[in-house]
A and B are shown apart, each in its own frame.
Chain A
Amino acid sequence: MTAHLIVERAGLLDTLQDRGRIGFQALGMPTAGAMDRIALRLVNALAGNTEDLAAIEIGVMGPTLRVEADGVRLAVVGLVALELMGAPEAPPKPLEANRSHLLRRGQRLRVGMVEGARTAYLAVEGGFAVAPFMGSLATYTRAGIGGVEGRKLQDGDMLPLAQAAAREREERKLGAPFDYGSGPIRVVPGPQADHFSDAGHAAFLGSDYVVSKEADRMGIRFEGPAIAHSEKGPDIVSDGIAPGAIQVPGAGLPIVLLADRQTVGGYAKIATVISADLPRLGRMLPGHKVRFMAVTVAEAEALRREQDRRLAQAIAGLQPAMPEGGIDLSALYERNLIDGVVWA
């Protein structure tokens, strides 16, 4: 018997995303993949997956999903309201995010607005049984490939589950929200730093830039002081574009290129956002103000290693969580102890 999650009502921008389509950029194929690799890793760990399987990336507002399986364990990471709906007459019951839940056949999960970030993620234990395209499930809507028919989820989609029923184990929750860092967004200058004037570099590293409304999975355009080019100008003979590359077209406003970026491009790139700060940048909503700060490649690599270490620590520190409607003996015990203290 097949197991599915049914999309009763789609959200605004739900797509299946994994770590991306790696190895085909020489053929002009963008990697796509999750905008927030940290949240993808956490949501998979909560769902009980040992590696990064494809999850639903939720943009702005999430879907309502119905369980057509004997049981499914799922997890959501992000600041987002969740409601569990069982019998039609029963009132919806709020569920916590940042933990796993076991849902039964016929139950529905309503995922609300995503707050404080552009994306939230929903993973299922065992992952989705969707055929990969060029080695990945990542949805790239511009070419209509990956995920579900190469598009965002829509009403009535049936997402096949790789696992027919949930494994027997306790639920897990995140000990504390992961710290994405704060302060300036760190960048490595180059590859075309010589296409910008001294005044252009000073403006870029010395001014506030604001996330504009022109922000999607391909990139974020910033508003702020124009960045002046040198006599070499804004155009180059196209070369490769790394994740986080900051291209500056003729008008002088920087565009940071993200998951759905094209593989090569013909505008001079002043710097590249370091990989440790890219998830934080990708979460920013329009109106968010940032400063850019220059670091070296070696510093960037060290910052990434430190972040990877903290992420591994957060996953090792996942805590047991009370099952829905079940009895959490350790919590009861703690409560009794506290009661004991109060009443002693």
Chain B
Amino acid sequence: MSIRYLDCGDTAFSVEFGTTIAPEINARVMGLHARIAAERAAGRLAGVVETIPSMRALMVCYDPAAATRAELQPAIEALVSGGLEAAAPTRAMAIPCCYDDPEFAPDLAEVAQRTGLSGEDVIARHLASDFHVYVLGFMPGLAYIVGLEASLELPRRSQPRVRVPRSSVGIAMNMTTIYPFDSPGGWHLLGRTPLRMFDQRRAQPVLLAPGDAVRFRRVSRAEYDAIAAQVDDGTMDWSTLEVRPS
């Protein structure tokens, strides 16, 4: 599919690489996102304010007092035609998740029943899935993490919950997510992480970033409680979540 430059008023335009969710499309989005950041860091692309990656498109936001679309689009086109390196995952993160408390995993039995698997198989396949963060949105810090093993793919719940507790881990379609706040939500809940996806006490308030590689790590309820206590009192060493890419 050819790239389309879509009009979004006079303060933004969208570089659309495709209309579907696919790794090769998202890789080009993230490649351009990184490339524009590097250009701006080098003092070029004056007038570009920020870029917003999504599954399949990159929105380029600009200040109409400092640049025009007619100036910026050719500069972006040149970056695209110069070739976009499929950016390697910036980080590999291991997210602890407790699947063993029924309060944390209210949908585990239903997911098992609908996929014809045992509860332990569902957990094993969630743990075996190689995930990548494609986009953050909907609310600050909410990551759409793609790569769920195909045997677990289900549509969203027909009846969304009015309140999903913070840090719940859910699945839907080919994705998993972690709720950054208590909020309404329609994903199937398999567990809960003791971490917080958004915490304004941290130097980096948002935990995951687009491009991160993500695996889940199973923890017991006791280990969950121990990590949650460190998160609550601010003694958590966040660098321990990063694992070397294999």
Question: Which residues of A line the B interface, CB within 8 A?
Answer: 22-30, 133-134, 140, 142-143, 145, 187-192, 236-245, 262-265, 269, 272-276, 297-298, 300-301, 303-305, 308
Complex Cα distance, B137 from A22, in Å, reads 15
B84, CB-defined interface residue at 8 Å: no
With beta carbons under 8 angstroms apart, the residue of A27, A133, A275 that contacts B141 is A27
Q: Indicate if B46 sits at the interface (CB-CB under 8 A).
A: no
Contact at A239–B209, with CB atoms within 8 Å?
no
**Cβ contact of B9, chosen from A28, A238, A273, cutoff 8 A:** A273
Interface hub of A30, A134, A238, A304 (most chain B Cβ within 10 A): A238
Q: Which residue of B lies closest to A189 (CB)?
A: B7
A263 pairs with B12, CB closer than 8 A: no
Q: Which residues of B contact A273 (CB under 8 A)?
A: 9
Contact of B50 among A23, A262, A276, A297 (CB under 8 A): A23
Interface residues on B, range: 35 or more
**Is B23 among interface residues, defined by CB-CB distance under 8 A?**
no
Proximity bits, B47-62, A CB within 8 Å = 1, else 0: 0011111111111010
Smallest CB separation, B97 vs chain A (Å): 21
Closest CB-CB distance, A278 to chain B, in whole Å? Answer: 9
Interchain CB contact under 8 A, A242 and B137: no
- B7's contact among A23, A143, A191, by CB below 8 Å, is which? A191
Question: In the complex the two chains form, is A22's CB within 8 Å of B8's CB?
Answer: no
A275–B66 alpha-carbon span in the complex (Å): 14
Contact A238-B55, Cβ < 8 Å, known A245-B8, A298-B68: yes
B residues less than 8 Å from A240 (CB atoms): 8, 12, 14, 52, 54, 57-59
- The interface residues of chain B lying within 8 Å CB-to-CB of A187 are 9
State the CA gap A27–B204 with chains docked (Å): 10
B8, B9, B55, B206 interface centre (most CB from chain A within 10 Å)? B9
Give the Cβ gap from B200 to chain A, nearest Cβ, in Å: 6
A27 neighbours in B (Cβ, 8 Å): 136, 140-141, 206, 209
Residues on B with C-beta less than 8 A from A300 are: 9-10, 64
Contact with A along B39-51 (1 / 0, CB 8 A): 0000000000111
Interchain CB contact (< 8 A) of B8 among A24, A145, A242, A298: A242
CB within 8 Å of A: which of B64-114? Answer: 64-65, 68-70
Complex contact B11–A275 (CB within 8 A) = yes
CB distance from B57 to the nearest CB of A (A): 4
Say yes or no for B3: interface residue by CB 8 A criterion: no
CB of B169 within 8 A of chain A? no
Enumerate chain A residues within 8 angstroms of B136, measured Cβ to Cβ: 26-28, 263
Other than the given A26-B52, A191-B13, A297-B13, 9 more pairs (CB < 8 A) read: A22-B50, A28-B141, A29-B140, A238-B135, A239-B54, A240-B59, A242-B8, A242-B11, A262-B138
Contact sample, A vs B, 8 pairs, CB 8 Å cutoff: A24-B206, A26-B52, A26-B53, A27-B140, A143-B140, A187-B9, A188-B7, A272-B8
Given A27-B206, A238-B135, A297 and B49 contact (CB-CB distance below 8 Å): no
Q: A22-B50, A239-B14, A239-B57 are in contact. Are A190 and B8 (CB under 8 A)?
A: yes
Asked if A134 and B205 make an inter-chain contact with CB atoms under 8 angstroms apart, the answer reads yes
**Complex partner residue of A264 from B11, B33, B49, B138, CB under 8 angstroms:** B138
Shortest Cβ distance from residue B56 to the other chain A in the assembled complex, whole angstroms = 6
**A29/B206 contact (C-beta < 8 A), A238-B137, A301-B10 known:** yes
Q: Are A26 and B7 in contact (CB under 8 A)?
A: no
Residue of A25, A143, A304 near B139 (CB, 8 A) is: A143
B128 within 8 A of A: no
Q: Answer whether residue B131 sits at the interface, using C-beta atoms and an 8 A cutoff.
A: no
With CB as the reference atom, state the residue of chain A lying closest to B205. A134
Interface string of B198-212 (1 = CB under 8 A from A): 101000011001100
Decide if A275 touches B61 in the complex (CB within 8 Å).
no
- Say yes or no: B61 contacts A242, CB within 8 Å: yes
Return the 10 tightest CB-CB contacts between A and B, nearest first: A240-B59, A272-B9, A191-B6, A28-B136, A264-B137, A300-B10, A190-B7, A242-B12, A240-B52, A242-B8
Contacts of B53 in A (CB 8 A): 26
For B56, the closest partner residue in chain A by CB is A237
A240 to B13, CA, bound (A): 9
Q: Smallest Cβ distance from B210 to chain A, in angstroms?
A: 6
- B65 touching A308, Cβ below 8 Å: yes
Contacts of B137 in A (CB 8 A): 28, 238, 262-265
In the complex, what residues of B have CB within 8 A of residue A304's CB? Answer: 10, 64-65
Residue on A with the closest CB to B60?
A240
Min CB–CB distance B162 → chain A (angstroms): 16
